[in-house]
Amino acid sequence: MKSLNIDVILPWEIGFIITILGLLLIIFGIRQSKKENYHDIDKIPLVKATTKIFFGSVAMIFGGIQLLPLLK
């Protein structure tokens, strides 16, 4: 069986925290995108909903890679 050559660089506890934070970012991004006044010029958010969803998904992937040692 060939390996993917993905190395774990942090302990699994930190990977778990990163995964949870990524999930929270995705949830907040989805909630923000459903607001009606999201496109109002006077109430422009500092971070767009799509940016939160993107960084949340990247954090979940990175955190999931850090959780790989638990599968052994």
Q: Is the pLDDT of residue 40 over 70?
A: no
Condensed to tens digits (0 to 9), the pLDDT of residues 16-25 reads 999 999 999 9
Condensed to tens digits (0 to 9), the pLDDT of residues 52-67 reads 999 999 999 999 988 8
- Inter-axis angle of helices 12-33 and 49-66, to 10 degrees? 160
- The structural domains of the chain, with segments of one domain joined by +, span 12-71
Per-residue tokens: 4: 């993917």
What does the pLDDT average to over 25-52?
78
Q: Is the pLDDT of residue 51 over 60?
A: yes
